[in-house]
Amino acid sequence: MQLKNDRYLRALLKQPVDRTPVWMMRQAGRYLPEYRATRAQAGDFMSLCKNPELACEVTLQPLRRYALDAAILFSDILTIPDAMGLGLYFGEGEGPKFQRPLRDFIDIANLPIPDPEQELRYVMDAVRTIRRELAGSVPLIGFSGSPWTLATYMVEGGSSKTFGTIKKMMFSEPEALHLLLDKLAKSVTLYLNAQIAAGAQSVMIFDTWGGVLTPRDYQEFSLGYMQQIVNGLTREADGRKVPVTLFTKNGGLWLESIANTGCDALGLDWTINISDAKARVGHKVALQGNMDPAILLGSPERIRQEVQMILDGFGQGSGHVFNLGHGITPDVDPERVSVFIDAVHSFSRTYHMSSDIRE
């Protein structure tokens, strides 16, 4: 099926576009009243994730409100650890937790590598359902957490402020952690390739906690395993390339190393100027980002001002996907999102004036 709007995929591949494409991390989420209603219908968060029809519904909800240039699969980064048997649950107001966190080499050695079409079939069914319902309107993004980020939750047993448990393993039992990360890299590769086979047209790896590592440890325990995944991904489907985006929060120090993995795009948080990032790696990869989500709490004028500054920072030409520097927060007024999306589309046209652009 021919895509009616492919500017997101084209921008990731640095091909000409008529305006800068835009989507938002967590665009299907708690800031939308219709999402809250559907989640209440499902009963709880994981029941929502595991129901392909409801996952499709919440994926499509933001596209009904806004002129977004991509849909992103509604799921969670912790589906793989859950499928490995760690007992994922969400405490009320406490975030994700595991009933059986990993504590030693034996625990890790016994971990299975999930079959995406068996233990994670509900995710693949959601991808297939969403692709059908999108009917070629915009591309569908699949995603996973990075091995390091998944490992932090699996070893810590949930969220952490200090990462003391996994860092203790990293410094005292590195062979155990490397075994875990290798299993996760294999699992993520299978998982993302299954999403691509089911219909995802682009994939993104979220390395939410890579920025808590030293430069040396980032290379060894995070980036090396993302490199392993990139090397193993399906890069073409349905006759076109499947772009890969890597996003390390607080990873601005390491853009050159991330770009050297062979990915197509880098996600940027708001702690780096996009002009600096483009000067460093923009010849090699596209850039996604990078507005501070908190700007959406500001006035419409302030939102438009920030959009203009980021567009100015990237400058002329393709290779930019506008996004937030991290996920949208639940306290954002949906009307402010309209201001943001409209500003990107209206302001960005002047940065794409080439005569060979396909409307």
Q: Which letter does DSSP use for residue 349 in this model?
A: G
Query: Could you say which of 39, 65, 100, 121 is catalytic?
Result: 39
Cβ neighbours, 10 Å, residue 36? 14
Does residue 182 have a known ligand-binding role? Answer: no
95-102 CB contacts, 8 Å cutoff, 24+ apart: 95/158, 95/159, 96/153, 96/158, 96/159, 97/157, 97/158, 98/153, 98/154, 98/157, 98/158, 101/154, 101/155, 101/156, 101/157, 101/158, 102/154, 102/155, 102/180
Strand residues in the chain grouped as ranges (E): 71-72, 88-91, 95-98, 140-145, 202-207, 236-237, 240-241, 244-248, 265-267, 286-291, 320-324
Does residue 240 have a known ligand-binding role? Answer: no
Does residue 28 have a known ligand-binding role? Answer: yes
Query: Could you say which of 30, 240, 280, 302 is catalytic?
Result: 30
Does residue 79 have a known ligand-binding role? Answer: no
- 153 labelled catalytic: yes
- 8 labelled catalytic: no
- 122 labelled catalytic: no
Does residue 27 have a known ligand-binding role? Answer: yes
Contact 319, 286 (CB under 8 A): yes
- Closest by CA to 21, choosing from 40, 38, 7, 10, is 7
Q: How is residue 158 written in tokens? A: 């949930």
Q: How is residue 133 written in tokens? A: 């319902």
Residues 6 or more apart whose CB falls under 8 angstroms from that of 87 comprise 98, 99, 100
Does residue 29 have a known ligand-binding role? Answer: yes
Does residue 76 have a known ligand-binding role? Answer: yes
Sign of CA dihedral 10, 210, 29, 310: negative
Using the structure block, give the residue that is written with the tokens 């990731």. Answer: 12
CA 54 to chain centre: 20
Does residue 87 have a known ligand-binding role? Answer: no
Strand residues in 86-230 grouped as ranges (E): 88-91, 95-98, 140-145, 202-207
Does residue 235 have a known ligand-binding role? Answer: no
Query: Could you say which of 26, 131, 304, 336 is catalytic?
Result: 26
Distance separating alpha carbons of residues 186 and 174, to the nearest angstrom: 18
Query: Could you say which of 6, 76, 264, 269 is catalytic?
Result: 76
- Closest by CA to 82, choosing from 10, 11, 144, 160, is 144
Binding residues for substrate: 26-30, 76, 153, 208, 326
| Residues known to be catalytic | 26, 30, 39, 76, 153
